[in-house]
Each structure stands twice: as C-alpha cells, then as structure tokens.
Amino acid sequence: MQSLATLDIGGGTQDFLLWRADQPLENAVKAVLPSPTQAVAARIRRARRQGRDVFLYGWLMGGGAMASAVKEHLAAGLKVRATSQAAASLHDDPAKVKAMGVEIAEEGPPGAVAVFTTDIDLTAFSQMLCGFEASLPQTWALAVCDHGYSPGASNRKFRFQMWRDFLAKGGDMDHLMSLTPPPAMTRLQALAQQCPGALLMDTAAAALWGALEDPAVAELAPGGVCVVNLGNMHTVGFLVRGRQVLGIYEHHTGCLDVKSLADHIERFTACRLGDNEVFDSQGHGCAYLPGAPGKALPVVITGPRRALARGLGWTTAVPHGDVMLSGCFGLLAAARARQAEA
C-alpha cells in the first residue's frame, strides 16, 4: 500500500487524511470539513428560505442534521420528496418516513431543488484536491456510526449488539476493520457500494485505534486504559489491555453532562455500571468480558466534544500532534496493521 485516503464521517464534521508512503505524515493533506449530513441540511435550509420544494436523491446516508432540516421544511408548508434509497436515511421504515410527511418517489416534483444524499462525495473530494495538484488514491478507509437496519426493534439495542458480538469473539482490535460489513449495516453497505474495496470501520473504533497512536497512550495500554471517544452524537468508552478490548460503553453525548459522564466512566472502569441503566437513560448499553480489570484505570479522551470532560483530570490523546484527526490516524493504523498481517 503506497497511498490511502481516510475519511472519518461524524455528525458534526468529516475528517480527511491523505497518506502517502513517500511523504512524512506531517506533510500529508488534512482537512476537517462539515459532515455530509450538515452539508445536506444546509442545502435543504437554503431551499426553505427560497420557498422551494426539495427532492432528495442518491444514497442512504446518516440522518441527524439532515432529518432536522427535513422536518423544518415540512413545518414551513413546503414539500419534501425522496427516492427510496434517500428516504432510508430518515428512517428504515418507509411508513414512518411517509408519516413525517415525506413523499417517496423516484422523480422530484416540478421546480424542486434536487439535493444529492451521500456519506461520501467522491466528486467533491476529487475537485478539492485537484485545485492543489493532488489526486485521490484508489484505496479508501472509511468510518461511520451505523445503527443498522432493525425493523420492529430498538436501533440502540441493535447497534450495541454489534459491540457484544465483537466482545464475544474475544475483543481483538484487529477485528474492528472489515471489507465486508454485515448486510444489516446499511450505511456501511452504501459506502461499500460507492467505494468498492474500501476498508470500513465504526467511527468509535477508528477513534480508539487513533488514540493508541499517541505514544503516551500506547504506554498505558499494557497495564489497562479506558479510552473514551466524545463524539458530537455518541460517546463510546473502551476498556483496553494491550490490543484487546475488554469492555464497551455507549451513550448519546447529548444526554450526558460532566457529572453523569464522570459517574458513568468511573463505574464503567470498575465494571459496576449496568447495561440496563445505560439503556434506560437513553444510551445504548454497557458490556464486559470476564477478564475486564474491574478497577480504576487511567482515562484518555478523544473526539470533538472533549470539553464535556473539562476539569475531570483525564488525559487528552494527541496522536501525531493532532487532536481532531484521531479517527483518520486510527483508520490508517488499522489499515497498515491489516496489510502487515496479510
């Protein structure tokens, strides 16, 4: 592998790193950009200000800000129509999409603003790099937070089952990257179709790999460390010893404050935080392997919502001198480790 484009796609930003084997990492092309859902939401809101209907077409992508903009558009008395694929970005169940007021059809209404939906705009990245005499490589490593397709079931429980399955297989960090996502992980499936051969990973898993790229964090790993990714939408904690994950905690960042975060992580490291408690407080869950330390551990944080932990005395991971690109550095590290084992 001589080059790799990495993209960590979150709810607030999408972070990009273009790595080349013949170039120092410090000189690599880097960018922190608005996330795809934020960009699509901005286009919908511009159409609302213009008093125009909207037609969503393209691929299934993350909802978040886009879904909020769609609701605002409908509340303003304007129409939103979406193709079946684009509509799935709003909800897995077409009936619930229609109940929102969104029409599902493969063609837009006359005069509507057409808005392309995708988690990865390859044309935009190619054009951006072209202006700086750089080009995209053939290989991508991509990360998104995928809840999966779970008709009739809680998507929070369904997503956390992914982490349970990972722990049940031993918690080996090398198993966090894949070429072939499960069929139910629809966002990852959409990325795989748009970027054949791309390496795929969850955003929290990429952040974990990236945090361990900080030498100070890597030194803690053999004795055990708790790595917490404070994302714009999700907070995910990992109990790690060496290269093995022994426990996972996931909650919605918006449901936490500094007091509840500190309490949860303290009890999580001690293996005293219950799965039902996390779920009942609108989180996803909490799970441990039998070998989890069950004691206080050093806590390392990463992610754009690090300020939520201000004053707690936790260490901030700074992989390769950059606090915002942990996910990209994690994707790169996981991809290179995968190549080394091949």
* Rounded percentage of the chain residues whose pLDDT exceeds 70: 100
Which three-class secondary structure state does DSSP give residue 91? Answer: coil
pLDDT at 216 over 70: yes
CA distance 333 to 36: 24
Residue 231 has pLDDT above 90, yes or no: yes
pLDDT of residue 59: 97
Residue 295's pLDDT is what? 87
Cα angle for residues 231, 236, 239 (degrees, 5° grid): 140
- Is residue 163 pLDDT above 70, yes or no? yes
pLDDT tens digit string along 115-140?
999 999 999 999 999 999 999 998 99
Q: Which residues neighbour 186 within 8 Å (Cβ) at sequence distance 6 or greater?
A: 60, 88, 92, 146, 148, 149
Has residue 153 got a pLDDT over 90? no
Cβ-contact 53, 26 below 8 angstroms: no
Q: pLDDT tens digits, residue range 66-117?
A: 999 999 999 999 999 999 999 999 998 899 999 999 999 999 989 999 999 9
Binned at pLDDT 50, 70 and 90, residue 143 comes out as very high
Q: In whole angstroms, what is the distance from residue 9 CA to residue 179 CA?
A: 17
Residues 6+ apart with CB under 8 A from 211: 217, 227, 229, 300, 302, 317, 319, 326, 330
Sort residue 242 into left (φ over 0), alpha (ψ -120 to 50) or beta. Answer: left
Q: Please, are residues 306 and 145 in contact by the beta-carbon 8 Å criterion? A: no
- Mean pLDDT for the chain overall: 95
Domains of the chain: 36-117 (3.40.50), 145-341 (no CATH)
3-state secondary structure of 107: coil
Check residue 342 and give its pLDDT.
64
**152 pLDDT tier (thresholds 50, 70, 90):** confident
| pLDDT tens digit sequence for 307-321 | 999 999 999 999 999
Return the pLDDT at 48.
98
Provide mean pLDDT across the span 11-35: 95
pLDDT of residue 1: 86
